[in-house]
Amino acid sequence: MKYGVVSLFPEWVEQVGQFGVLQRALERGKISIEGFNPRDHAMDNHRTVDDRPFGGGPGMLMQIDTTQAALAQAKTALPQAPVVYLSPQGRKLDQRLVGELARLPELILLAGRYEGIDERLVAEQVDFEVSLGDYVLSGGELGAMVLIDAVSRLIPGVLGDQASAEQDSFSNLWLDCPHYTRPVDYHGETVPEVLRSGHHGRIEQWRLRQGIERSWDRRPDLFERRTLSQTELSIVNEHLSTLEKASTTRDGKDDEKPDH
């Protein structure tokens, strides 16, 4: 995957490739990251890259010519790349979208600063918008970095062990199960016996169950519009009756609420 990043701070975005698995991916030529800075195209003495919005109001916009010039340069370098604009108006990034993007050979990420970019430039030049979530960032750079990180680890050969990408949360559509390492006893809490049993079938079952139970408890939205397999359904049903028992036991306890 070749990434092009149009940003006023391209060196910052490029740093995402200086550590960990992405650093190795860069070294192995699995990915490349090239920045394109609108400021390099500013010709006035102040090297201006912002401009005032028509209609007034607080804040500035990206100056259209310099943004356009940097984007044009990125498109020449990456002729096959769709242009992704990071903005809160975009499709929210999730693992499904990450997977779709990972199949592309090239990607241009347009990271806006200030209040954004002229709508005509967006309409003419941007293929789609991606949002990191419903909160406000100071610019699209962190979005571009998150996207590069999440997409790159799905590219074959980027993770040492391809199986670990598939095991992560959301690749299997459920939250991840808990993990344990040494020591067996940590502050009086012990590692679940099943994980020390060496029984791989039971370990797999336990991990699936833990992931589904955690999803039910913490992310009920993951069950919306999803058809459960027979196994998943029985895990949920058993979890529900366990929760039910626990709550009726508590309700029935008369030593918790004193009688008057």
Catalytic status, residue 88: yes
By CB under 6 A, name the one of 12, 21, 118, 139 that touches ligand 4GX.
Answer: 139
By CB under 6 A, name the one of 27, 94, 100, 115 that touches ligand 4GX.
Answer: 115
Dig out the tokens for 163 from the structure.
């199986």
| Closer to ligand 4GX by Cβ: residue 85 or 174 | 85
Q: Does 143 bind ligand 4GX (CB under 6 A)?
A: yes
Q: How far is the CB of 147 from ligand 4GX (least distance, A)?
A: 9
Q: How far apart are CA 31 and CA 254, in angstroms?
A: 63
Q: How far is the CB of 117 from ligand 4GX (least distance, A)?
A: 6
Q: Does 38 bind ligand 4GX (CB under 6 A)?
A: no
Query: Exposure string (b/e) for 212-239, b if CB count within 10 Å is 16 or more?
Result: bbbbbeeeeebeeeeeeeeebeebbeeb
Q: How far apart are CA 211 and CA 223, in angstroms?
A: 13
Q: Does 59 bind ligand 4GX (CB under 6 A)?
A: no
Q: Can you say how many angstroms the Cα of residue 108 is from the centroid of all Cα atoms in its chain?
A: 17
Active-site hit among 53, 65, 88, 176: 88
SS3 label, residue 206? helix
Q: How many CA atoms lie within 13 A of 232 on its CB side?
A: 14
By CB under 6 A, name the one of 10, 35, 116, 211 that touches ligand 4GX.
Answer: 116
Catalytic status, residue 161: no
Q: Active-site residues: which are they?
A: 88, 115, 153, 168
